[in-house]
Amino acid sequence: MEDQTLQLFVQQLVNGIQLGSVYALIAIGYTMVYGVLKFINFAHGDVYMIGAYMGMFVVLGFHPANIDQDALVVVLAMVLMVGLIVSLRGNLRNPRAVGLRLAGFGLAFVLLKTLCSAFVLVGEKLFGGLTSVAQTSVLVGGAVSVMVSVGWCAALGVIIERTAYKPIRGTGRLTALITAIGVSLLLENGGQAVFGARTQAYSIASLPGGQELVGATLNLNVLGLAISVNRGQVIVLVSAIVLVTLLMYIVRRTRMGKAMRAVAYDREAAALMGINTNTVISFTFLIGSAMAGAGGFLNYGLTQFSFDTNTGIMFGLKAFVAAVLGGIGNLGGAVLGGVIMGVAETFIAGSPFSSFKDAIAFVILIAILLFRPAGLLGKYTVEKV
Amino acid sequence: MAKLAKQIGLCVVIAGLLYGLDAFLNVRRPDGQPAFNPFMLRVLLLSGIFVTLSVSLNIVNGFTGQFSIGHAGFLAVGAYVGAAITFKFPGLQNGMGLVLSCIVGGAASALFGWIVGVPSLRLRGDYLAIVTLGFGEIIRVLLENTSMLPMTEFLGGAIGFSGIPKLTSFFWVFGLAAVTIGISRNLKRSLHGLAFLSVREDEVAADAMGVNTTQVKVTAFVLAAFLAGAAGSLYAHNEQFILPKSFNFVMSINIVVMVVLGGLGSITGAVLTAVFFTALPEWLRTANVGIIKDFYKDEYRLVLFALLLTLTMMLRPQGFMGRAELTLLKRKKRPPTPAPEPRATMHAPPVGTHEILNCEGVTRRFGGLVAVDNFNLQLRTGELVGLIGPNGAGKTTVFNLLTGVYEPSSGAVRLAGKQIAGDQPYSPSARAGLIGLDAALCGLVGYIGATVIYSLPLNVAPAAMMSVFSMSIKSPMVLAITGLAAAVSLVTSKGRRRNRPGLRPFQFCNLGISRTFQNIRLFPDLSVIENVLVGSYGKRKTKLFDALMQTVRMDREEHEQRAHAMKLLERFDLGSVADEQAGGLPYGAQRRLEIARALATRPKLLLLDEPAAGMNPQEKSELMECIRGIRDEFGLTILLIEHDMKVVMGICERIYVLDYGVIIAQGSPEAIRRDPKVIAAYLGEEAASG
Amino acid sequence: MLTLEKIDVYYGAIHALEQVSLTVNQGEIVTMIGANGAGKSTTIRSVSALVRPRSGRIMFEGEDITRLAPHLVVQRGICQSPEGRRVFASMSVRENIEMGAYTRKKGSGIAEDVDRVLQLFPRLKERFTQSAGTLSGGEQQMLAIGRALMSRPRLLMLDEPSLGLAPFLVQQIFQIIRDINAQGVTVLLVEQNAFQALRVAARGYVLETGRVVLEDTAQNLLANDDVRKAYLGE
C-alpha cells in the first residue's frame, strides 16, 4: 500500500514537473514584462496559443480550407479601421497627413480581399515548403517547428508591444490592463473566427521516425520504484531546461540583458546611462513571446494534449499565477513557481477531485497573496509616501 | 418629513410607470397574438438585467477605482441560489417568490463578495483583477461539480440547471434596474460616496484622512455583489435554463466593456452601454441586412469589443461619458442658508500643560539601513515645533511613523499617554493560542494534502473520500507529513506572532493626528470642497444605509459638513474655488487646500510636511501667518518639517534637528542657530566660520 | 556650450518651469540653487529629455536637442547623476560602473576609464564586487558620479550630490567635483547646499517657483544679502 503510494507519488511528480516546465516557459514572459513595465501582459497566454497553431501548421501542413478567408478579411478590416482612427488622432488639423493616411488605408481596404488571398497563398506555399522539409525526419521537423513558433511569436510579441502598448505607456496601469485585455480578446476571437472553434491536436510523432523518438515509453527505476515516462515528456523537459539556461545567459551575461535589468530596476536611471529604453522593452517582449511560442509548440507537438483558440486564457492565467507564486519580476521564481503549479495541478488531476483541477491555481494564488504577497523568492517593497 | 414623502412619491410614480409599461408591452392583438415581438421583449429584459450588472460593477470599478473582472461569478451565485428557491418551493413561483429569491440570491452573492473581498482587496489594480477573475473561475468550477453531492444534484452540474419557472417581467427587471440606479446615484452624491471616490483618487491620502480604505473597498464589493446576485436571480428566471459555462470570463468581460466604454464612474454611461451592447449582438444576429447576415459570426462581436476597448484606451481612456452624468432635472443649488453652528470652536488649553505626543526610542530599519535611530520627541499641547535636517535625514520617515504608514522597528509612540505605535506584545496566553491555531491550521492542510497523495492509487469516488480520510490517519506517511507541517508552523509562527498588528493610518487620523504630504496628495479629480469633505468622513455619524436611501439624517449631516468645509475653505482663501477641480489649482493653493483638508479631520496634532515648498516669498509669509493663526484658532499642536530657514526660525517655538536618523540638537531657534553641530551638519561646515 | 532658451514645463496643471533661460560655457562649473520645489531638478531633467518642455529650445554645441530621446542626449555627451543617486542596487559596483559606459563600443578604453574612476574614488575599489545596495549613502553617491563619468561626458550634470551625506563626505564630494572639472569636464551642479555649491562654481542661478530670479557670478551671489538670508540661513 505505502509502496504503491510512493510509486504513484513519484510518477505524478515527474508528470507534474514536465507540465510545470511549460508553465515556467510562459511564466518567464509574464515576469519579464512585469519586471520592466510593472504591467500584466494579459495577451501573453494567447501568444502561447498562437505558438501551438504555428507548430501545427508546420507538422500537419497549412491548408487554405482550414482558414476562413472571409473571416480574415472581416477581422483585418476591423483592425485596419481602428488603425486608421488611431493614426488620424492628433493629425486632424493637418490636411496633408489626413489625406495621406486616408489614401493609404483606403488602398489597404480596396486591396484587402486580394491581399488576404495572397497572404493565404503565400502562407500555403511557405508552410508547404516547411512541411515537406519537416517530413524528411522528425529531428528536422521538430527543429523547424520550434523555429517557426518561436520566430512568429517573437515577432507577434513585438508587434503587439509597438502597436498597442507603446502608445498608452505612462497613462496608468488600469489603461494598460484594459488594453491588454482588449488585445487578448482580439487574438482569441480573431483566431477563432479565422482558425475555427474546433479542438486541434497534432504530434511530431506523425513525422518519419517520430514514433520512435517521442512515442516510446521509458521505464526507469528510481530508488527501486518503477516509473514510466513518455520520451516526449523528457524532450519537453530537456528543451525547457535548455531554453531557460539560454535565457539566464542572455539576461546575466549579454549587453542587452544588462540593459534589461537596468531598465527593470529604474527606467529613468537606465535612460540616463544612454540605454534606449524603447528598444529594451521591445526586446523583453521579443524574448518573452519567443519562450511562450516555444512552450506552445512543446506542450502540444510532443504530447497528446489538444487545444483551441481559447486555450491561452486558462493556461496563461495559470502561468501568471506561477509567476506570482515565485515572486513576480524574478526569473528563478517564475521557474520555481511554474514547477510547483505543474506538480500541484497534476496531483489534483490524479486525485478524486480531478474536476477541481482548474480551481487549484487560483486557490494557490489567493493563498500566496494572503501569506506572502511578494512570492516565494520576491522581496516585499513598501510604497513610498 | 416632506423629504420622505417626496421620496415615497417618486418611488410610487416610477413603480406606476413601470407597471403601466409592463402592461402595455404585454398587450395582445385581437387575434390573441402578442402585439410586441416576444424576441424583442426578451432582448429588452436582458438589457434591463445588464443595466443592473453594469451599474453595480461601476460601483467597484468606477467609484472605488478597483478593477474586478469576475462579475459573472456573482451573477452565477445569485442565479443558482435564486433559482434553487423557486425550483424547490413551487409555492413561491409568483411575484413575491421572485422578490424573495432575488434577495436571498443577492445575499448569497454578497456573502461570496465578502469572502472574495476581504483577502483580495488588500491588493492593488492588476493583481486584484486577476484574483477576481480567479474567483469567478472557482465559482464556475464549484457549480460544475454540484452533481457530485446528492443534496445539490438537482442543480445539474455541468449539464445545466433546467426547469426554472419563468417569473420575470418588464416590471421586475426594470424595477431592480431602477433601484440599482437610485442607490448608486444616492451613493455617488453622498459623503460616503466621496470616501469611495477618494480611494479611487489616492488610496494613501484617503487612508491618511481617516477613510478605512479596506472597509470601503469591501463595502463596494459586497454591495456590487448583492446587486449582481439579485440580477442573477432575474437572469435565471428569465432564461429558465442556466449553465455554469455561460457565466464565464467572456460574460464578465462583457460587463467590464460596458462599464469601461460607458465611462468609469458614470452611471449614465453604464446604463447606455449596457442597453446598447446587449441589443447590438442580438440585432446583428438577426438583422436582415444582406451583407451582415451572410457573413456574421459571433466572434466578430467579440473582435469588435476587443478593438473598441483598445481604441477607447488610446483615444478616450475615460470612456464615452467620462465621469459625467446626464440628469433630467437640474439639481437645485443648495440655498446658502446659514447652517446651524456645527460646534463650538475648541478652546485651546494653555500651552505647555499636557504632554500630547511622546516618542520614546523610536527606531525604524529598512533592510540594513537605519532610517530613524532611537528617536525621542515630546510635544506639549499648543506647541509649534519644527523638525529640520538635511534632505535624506529621515524627517518624512518620522512623519510616516507618527501616522501609521510605517511601524516602528522598536520603541513606542504615545498620544496623550496612550501607546499608539511600537511594541505591543501579545499576552503570553493569547500568543500561545495564536501559535497553536497556526500550527493546527497548517497541520490540517498538511493532513488533507497527504491524504490526497495517499488516495492516489485507490481510485476512489469523491463521495468515498470521507472514509479515506478516516483511514489515512493510520498511515505513518500521512502522520509524518501532518506532523511536519505543524512543526514548521510552530517554528516560524513564534517570530511572527510576537506583537499585535499596529494601527492603520486611518486609525491614527481618527485618534487626532492629521498630516499633509511632501509631494501634494490631493484627490485631483474631486472638487475643492469635496476634498475637504473627505477629511470629515471619519467623524460621520450616519451609516451607509442613510447614504443609499438619502435619508433626512444624511441630508442634515451633509449640510452641516458642507457648511463646516466651506468655513474652512474661506479661512484658507479657497471659498471662491470651492467647486473647481482640485488638480487644476495653482501650486500654492493646492498646498493650502491640503492643510484645510487635514483640518477637516478635526485633529489635535497636525503634521505639516514642507508646507512652504514651491511657494514664493509672498506666499511664504502669508503661510507663516496662517499656520500661527490656525494653531490658536483650532487649539492645535503643530509639528512641521521645513527647509526654508526663514519659515522655521520665524514661527517655531522649539526645533529638533535630525541628521542620519538621529536627533543631533533641540532647543529654541536661537540656540539651534548657534549650535555648532547643527551648523556643521546642516548649514555647511564653513558657514559657521565664513 | 549648453543654452536653454525660455523653456516652459508643466506637470499636469502645475507650471513647473516658467521661461527658464540658462547658459553653461565650456569648462565652467555652473550651479543652480533654490528651495525644494523651485524647479532645479526639472531644469536638468528637461536637458536630459526626461521631461518635455512645452515651449522653448535647448541647444547643445549648436544642435537643437529639445526633441531628442534621452539615450541620444547621452550620446551627444551630456550625462546626469540623478537626485537620490539611483544606483542599480541589485548589481555589483563593477556592473554599475560598466553600465555607465553602455553607449561606448567595447575596447574603446573602457578599462582605462574604469581605472580612472577607481582612482578618483578609491573607496569604490574596495567594494568593487559588492552589490551596490550594500554601499553607504556616500559610497553610492560616488558610484553615481563615477557611473556618469563612464560615458565620457563633455557636460556632467549633478543633481544634489551632497544629499543626505555627512559633512566630511560633502567636503570630499565637492573636492572631487573640482577635480573632475579640472580634467576638462564642464559641470552643471544643482544643490541645496548653496554655500558649498557657490564656493566651487564660477557662476550661479537662483531659482524660485519655477523662475530664474537671480543670475550672477558665484562671488557676487555669496555676497548677496537676499541669498544669504534665504539659502545660507543667516
Q: What is the percent of chain B with per-residue pLDDT over 90, rounded to a whole number?
A: 41
Query: Does residue C233 have a pLDDT over 60?
Result: no
Provide the chain B residues 614-633 that lie in CB contact (below 8 A) with chain C.
614-617
Give first-to-last CA distance, chain B, whole Å: 75
| Confidence tier at B689 by pLDDT (50, 70, 90) | very low
Provide the chain A residues 175-214 that lie in CB contact (below 8 A) with chain B.
175, 177-179, 181-186, 188-190, 192-193
Taking the CA atoms of chain A, what radius of gyration do you get in angstroms?
A: 22
> What residues make up the domain containing B560?
521-601
Domain boundary among B574, B601, B628: B601
Where residue B305 sits, what CATH number does that domain have?
A: 1.10.3470.10
Chain A neighbours, 3+ Cβ pairs < 8 A: B, C
| Confidence tier at B342 by pLDDT (50, 70, 90) | very low
Q: Tell me the average pLDDT of chain B.
A: 86
Q: Tell me the average pLDDT of chain A.
A: 88
Query: Does residue B680 have a pLDDT over 80?
Result: no
pLDDT digits (tens, 9 = 90+) for B471-480: 888 888 888 9
Residue B414, chain C, CB below 8 Å: the answer is no
Residue B2 lies in a domain: no
Provide the shortest C-alpha distance from residue B280 to chain A (in Å): 16
Residues of B in contact with A167 (CB under 8 A): 314
Residue C178 lies in a domain: yes
**Residues B553-563, mean pLDDT to the nearest whole number:** 90
**pLDDT on residue B338:** 47
CB within 8 Å: A272 and C90: no
Residue A148 lies in a domain: yes
CB within 8 Å: A186 and B306: yes
Residue A379's closest chain C neighbor by CA? C90
Please, are residues B592 and B573 in contact by the beta-carbon 8 Å criterion? yes
Residue C149, chain A, CB below 8 Å: the answer is no
**Residues C100-119, mean pLDDT to the nearest whole number:** 88
Q: Domain check: are B106 and B196 in the same one?
A: yes
> What residues make up the domain containing A329?
2-53+137-371
| Confidence tier at A307 by pLDDT (50, 70, 90) | very high
Residue C151 lies in a domain: no
Provide the shortest C-alpha distance from residue B118 to chain A (in Å): 10
Query: Does residue B343 have a pLDDT over 90?
Result: no
Residue B486 lies in a domain: yes
Domain boundary among B539, B574, B601: B601
> A5, A85, A317: which to substitute to probe chain B, counting the most B Cβ within 10 Å?
A5
Angle between helices B95-120 and B170-189 (to 10 degrees): 40
Residue B123, chain A, CB below 8 Å: the answer is yes
Where residue B678 sits, what CATH number does that domain have?
A: 3.40.50.300
Provide the chain C residues 67-126 that lie in CB contact (below 8 A) with chain A.
69-71, 74-75, 79-80, 82, 86-91, 95, 98-100, 102-103
Where residue C227 sits, what CATH number does that domain have?
A: 3.40.50.300
Q: Domain check: are B298 and B154 in the same one?
A: yes
Q: Domain check: are B271 and B353 in the same one?
A: no
Query: Does residue B49 have a pLDDT over 50?
Result: yes
| Confidence tier at A66 by pLDDT (50, 70, 90) | confident
Residues of B in contact with A190 (CB under 8 A): 299, 303, 306
Query: Does residue B593 have a pLDDT over 90?
Result: yes
Q: Number of structural domains, chain B?
A: 4
Residue A64 lies in a domain: no
Provide the chain B residues 82-111 that lie in CB contact (below 8 A) with chain C.
none
Provide the shortest C-alpha distance from residue A167 to chain B (in Å): 7
Q: Domain check: are B61 and B111 in the same one?
A: yes
Residue B386 lies in a domain: yes
Residues of B in contact with C137 (CB under 8 A): 392
Tell me the residue length of chain B. 690
Write the ipTM.
0.90
Residue B334 lies in a domain: no
pLDDT digits (tens, 9 = 90+) for B407-440: 898 899 999 888 888 877 888 888 889 999 989 9
Q: Domain check: are B375 and B274 in the same one?
A: no
Q: Domain check: are B615 and B669 in the same one?
A: yes
Give the strand pairing for C203-208 and C29-34: parallel
**pLDDT on residue A104:** 86
* Partner residue facing C38 (CB), from B590, B614, B684: B614
Residue C117 lies in a domain: no
Provide the shortest C-alpha distance from residue A349 to chain C (in Å): 40
For residue C34, the SS3 value is strand
* Partner residue facing A358 (CB), from B119, B141, B465: B141
| Confidence tier at B686 by pLDDT (50, 70, 90) | very low
Residue A215 lies in a domain: yes
Domain boundary among B461, B496, B531: B496
pLDDT digits (tens, 9 = 90+) for B609-653: 988 877 777 888 888 999 999 998 888 999 999 877 778 888 999
**Residues B105-113, mean pLDDT to the nearest whole number:** 95
Write the DSSP symbol of residue C85.
Answer: -
Residues of B in contact with A353 (CB under 8 A): 452, 462, 465
Residue C215 lies in a domain: yes
> What residues make up the domain containing C222?
2-88+157-231
H-run or E-run covering C191: strand C186-191
Residue A366, chain C, CB below 8 Å: the answer is no
**pLDDT on residue B287:** 64
Q: Number of structural domains, chain C?
A: 1
Residue A95 lies in a domain: no
| Confidence tier at B352 by pLDDT (50, 70, 90) | low
pLDDT digits (tens, 9 = 90+) for B261-318: 898 889 999 999 999 988 887 777 776 555 555 667 778 888 888 898 889 888 888 8
Residues of B in contact with C134 (CB under 8 A): 368
Query: Does residue B349 have a pLDDT over 70?
Result: no
**pLDDT on residue A99:** 87
Query: Does residue B332 have a pLDDT over 60?
Result: no
Measured distance CA(B552)–CA(B4) in Å, rounded = 7
| Confidence tier at B344 by pLDDT (50, 70, 90) | very low
Residues of B in contact with A175 (CB under 8 A): 313, 317
**Residues C112-122, mean pLDDT to the nearest whole number:** 90
Q: Number of structural domains, chain A?
A: 1
Residue B287 lies in a domain: yes
**Residues B42-61, mean pLDDT to the nearest whole number:** 94
Provide the shortest C-alpha distance from residue C141 to chain A (in Å): 14
Residue C214 lies in a domain: yes
Write the DSSP symbol of residue B581.
Answer: B
Query: Does residue B55 have a pLDDT over 80?
Result: yes
Please, are residues A303 and A232 in contact by the beta-carbon 8 Å criterion? yes
**pLDDT on residue A380:** 58
Where residue A10 sits, what CATH number does that domain have?
A: 1.10.3470
Q: Domain check: are B490 and B537 in the same one?
A: no
pLDDT digits (tens, 9 = 90+) for C129-180: 988 888 877 888 889 999 999 999 999 999 988 876 766 778 888 999 999 9
pLDDT digits (tens, 9 = 90+) for A141-174: 999 999 999 999 999 999 999 999 998 888 888 8
For residue B371, the SS3 value is strand
Residue C36 lies in a domain: yes
Residues of B in contact with A75 (CB under 8 A): 300, 303
Residue B33 lies in a domain: no
Measured distance CA(A85)–CA(B311) in Å, rounded = 8
Residue C10 lies in a domain: yes
Residues of A in contact with C98 (CB under 8 A): 258
Give the range among A115-129, B87-101, B122-136, B179-193 with minimum mean pLDDT. Answer: B122-136
* Partner residue facing C75 (CB), from A261, A266, A274: A274
> A38, A89, A189, A325: which to substitute to probe chain B, counting the most B Cβ within 10 Å?
A189
Query: Does residue C4 have a pLDDT over 80?
Result: yes
pLDDT digits (tens, 9 = 90+) for C46-97: 999 999 999 999 999 999 999 999 999 999 999 999 988 899 988 899 999 9
